[in-house]
Amino acid sequence: MPQPSGKTAWDFMPSDWKLVAGRWTPPAGFVPATQLEHARLGTLTPEMRRVAQREPHLTPAQVRDEVAAGRMVIPANTVHRDLRLDPMCIGRASLTKVNANMGASPVSSGTDEEVEKLRWAERWNADTVMDLSTGGDLDRTREAIVRAATVPIGTVPIYSMIVGRRIEQLDDEAILAGLEHQARQGIDYMTVHAGVLREHLPLVRDRLIGIVSRGGSLLAKWMLVHGRQNPMYELWNEICAVLRRWDVTFSIGDGLRPGGLADATDPAQLAELATLSELTERAWANGCQVMVEGPGHVPFDQIEYNMKLQRQLCHGAPFYVLGPLVTDIFPGYDHITSCIGATAAAYHGASMLCYVTPKEHLGLPKKADVKQGVIAYKIAAHAADIALGIPGARDRDDELTKARAALNWEKHFELSFDPDLARAYHDEDLDVDTDFCAMCGHDWCSVRISKEIVEFTSGKADAYQWEQPRVTDALSPAQREILEQRGVLEPDEIHRLASKTRATMRAREGHKASCHSDEAEPATARRLQSEALDPVTLEPLGAPPAARA
């Protein structure tokens, strides 16, 4: 496997900085503009301090040193910092981050819906959001998203550069003006596909699916029409000057990423990666923060090699990967096929994972798809962080295990990532918090049995004990919606769960539920659980009126 590079951003300093007595010194009158430049000067910025607050295993000085080495970026445009941005970091020393893509297309969505999807992605803890709009009022949508966002916002500027013109009409002036405009709006990081070179295009000829990157395919067409090199590559120093001015982080695009397993790790992808290494070095020499984008469809056995090769060639610059998908035959389930690959990618070297939703390859994701994508990738990122041994990464898992062992359902749900879903699924089968669940029932509950064995510590943590079983509260609207979408329960049963009282299962204040193992024999407990009770009389609904009087 490729070994880590022996170089860092310190090896690619601006030509006018001098090494004096072991310390790099900028020219007279130099004013730092980026987090990287502040770090090189030894400054602890407010953004670095905030990152350390959000990543308790890191000190502000460690954050600064990682930024200075180029192994960490803090995407924080100077404009967005003055709005609602809550600074965060991306790098191997930090927790693995998750990005959510959204954006209007020529046939679907609009500004209001995209802002709503932004808020939804933030609700489910997406760490960054990319606006990939290609339709509607792109400028208005971008402006609205930046002003509403507390997370860093990324874009692919070439999309808006070709609005009102054909790709072959794109020129140097339009490229630089488009970048400057989005930087002024507050965009925190930009994908620039400067690594797709004219000499790489013949390497794509025999691919099963050619170029699947929108930016990469557009620039390939531009080069073929004009018979010239990629203008983004030729303008790299000028682009660096624009991004440095606003402290916009580079997300150097992988325009030749594989779009199918058969094309993974092929000569085209690797040739571009070598160019991304060169662009990384040049961006650091211009004082810019850099992360590098990576492949999207990779067989599982090739993921480790891809991650470690990037870390070597790009000298540890944060790797930002899409997926990767590990199989191509599950359209509609690609949030699953890709989060499997994403877990391996994060473990072997990736710093940020770009989510994939169930709509990948099929259409524009809706609000529900955004949630599915973000959660799948939070699982991948969290699993990798635990495996990497990042301090504190497993603490919440252990606390939930203690609550589960104690059969403390309320604490169990409180500690879960999606409490509404967990509670709704539990109540779908058994709407009382007692000392077993519907999975095994009373007699077969291994957790209850383990808790009752005196010699075991399982389930006996003092902070997780509970005094009595209780009927669960009525379902919230969100929990009711979850069960309605599942389509398992009849509408009247969902209505009962949404309007029930504490008296269900006779769990009155100061008393244990009638199905609790301290109150009923096993056979009685099973019978009570199988009966639907009248919420007022607490008698079986099928009982004669006299019996319920």
Residue type, 171: D
pLDDT band at 548 (very low <50, low <70, confident <90, very high): very low
CA nearest neighbour of 537 among 511, 503, 502, 508: 503
Enter the tokens of residue 390.
């990042």
pLDDT at 452 exceeding the cut of 90 = no
Q: What is the mean pLDDT of the chain?
A: 90
Give domain status of residue 216, yes or no: yes
Query: Do residues 440 and 362 both lie within one domain?
Result: no
Query: Do residues 376 and 420 both lie within one domain?
Result: no
pLDDT at 508 exceeding the cut of 50 = no
pLDDT band at 56 (very low <50, low <70, confident <90, very high): very high
Residue type, 383: A
Query: Do residues 99 and 234 both lie within one domain?
Result: yes
Average pLDDT on 404-414 reads: 92
Domain boundary at 352, 371, 388, which? 388
Over residues 250-268, the pLDDT tens digits come to: 999 999 999 999 999 999 9
The model's pTM: 0.88
94-103, 318-327, 440-449: which range is least confident on average? 440-449
Which of the pair, 236 or 465, is modelled with greater confidence?
236
286-295, 328-337, 531-540: which range is least confident on average? 531-540
CA nearest neighbour of 106 among 307, 364, 292: 364
Please tell me the predicted confidence (pLDDT) of residue 539.
52
The angle formed by the CA atoms of residues 269, 275 and 277, to the nearest 5 degrees, is: 105
Please tell me the predicted confidence (pLDDT) of residue 518.
53
State which H helix or E strand residue 434 sits in. none
Contact yes or no for 8/277 (Cβ under 8 A) = no
Please tell me the predicted confidence (pLDDT) of residue 142.
96
Domain boundary at 332, 362, 388, which? 388
What distance in Å separates the CA atoms of residue 444 and residue 80, rounded to the nearest whole number? Answer: 55
Percent of the chain with pLDDT over 90: 72
Which of the pair, 511 or 523, is modelled with greater confidence?
523
Contact yes or no for 238/176 (Cβ under 8 A) = yes
Enter the tokens of residue 414.
């409180």
Please tell me the predicted confidence (pLDDT) of residue 358.
96
Please tell me the predicted confidence (pLDDT) of residue 206.
95
Per DSSP, 391 falls in state T
The label of the residue with tokens 């808790």 reads 451
Average pLDDT on 262-287 reads: 98
Please tell me the predicted confidence (pLDDT) of residue 543.
53
Q: How many domains does the chain have?
A: 2
Contact yes or no for 402/415 (Cβ under 8 A) = no
For residue 452, what are the CA distances in angstroms to 39, 398, 433, 444, 516?
Answer: 56, 20, 17, 13, 14
Query: Do residues 167 and 187 both lie within one domain?
Result: yes
Please tell me the predicted confidence (pLDDT) of residue 124.
97
For residue 431, what are the CA distances in angstroms to 133, 332, 426, 455, 484?
Answer: 44, 32, 7, 31, 16
DSSP labels, 440-463: TTTTT-HHHHHHH-TT--TT--GG
What distance in Å separates the CA atoms of residue 25 and residue 88, rounded to the nearest whole number? Answer: 28
Query: Do residues 250 and 297 both lie within one domain?
Result: yes
Name every residue whose Cβ is closer than 8 Å to that of residue 2 and which is 6 or more positions away in sequence. Answer: 305, 308, 309, 311, 312, 313
pLDDT band at 542 (very low <50, low <70, confident <90, very high): low
Give domain status of residue 33, yes or no: no
Enter the tokens of residue 421.
């879903």
- What range defines the domain where residue 474 resides? 396-530
Enter the tokens of residue 153.
């916002």
Q: CB neighbours (10 Å) of residue 19?
A: 10
What distance in Å separates the CA atoms of residue 529 and residue 505, rounded to the nearest whole number? Answer: 8
What distance in Å separates the CA atoms of residue 341 and residue 300, rounded to the nearest whole number? Answer: 6
Over residues 124-173, the pLDDT tens digits come to: 999 999 999 888 899 999 999 999 999 999 999 999 999 889 999 999 99
Please tell me the predicted confidence (pLDDT) of residue 536.
40
Over residues 23-40, the pLDDT tens digits come to: 999 999 999 999 999 999
Enter the tokens of residue 402.
């203690």
pLDDT at 507 exceeding the cut of 50 = no
Number of H helices, E strands in the chain: 22, 14
Query: Do residues 377 and 403 both lie within one domain?
Result: no
Please tell me the predicted confidence (pLDDT) of residue 523.
64
Please tell me the predicted confidence (pLDDT) of residue 503.
41
pLDDT at 505 exceeding the cut of 80 = no
181-195, 365-379, 476-490, 505-519: which range is least confident on average? 505-519
Please tell me the predicted confidence (pLDDT) of residue 282.
98
Average pLDDT on 376-380 reads: 98
Q: For the domain that residue 148 is a member of, what is the CATH number?
A: 3.20.20.540
Query: Do residues 488 and 506 both lie within one domain?
Result: yes
Give domain status of residue 63, yes or no: no
For residue 405, what are the CA distances in angstroms to 400, 448, 449?
Answer: 9, 8, 10
Three-state DSSP string of 116-140? HHHHHHHHCCCCEEEECCCCCCHHH
State which H helix or E strand residue 251 sits in. strand 249-252
What distance in Å separates the CA atoms of residue 152 and residue 54, rounded to the nearest whole number? Answer: 15
Enter the tokens of residue 393.
């990464």
Give domain status of residue 380, yes or no: yes
Give domain status of residue 477, yes or no: yes
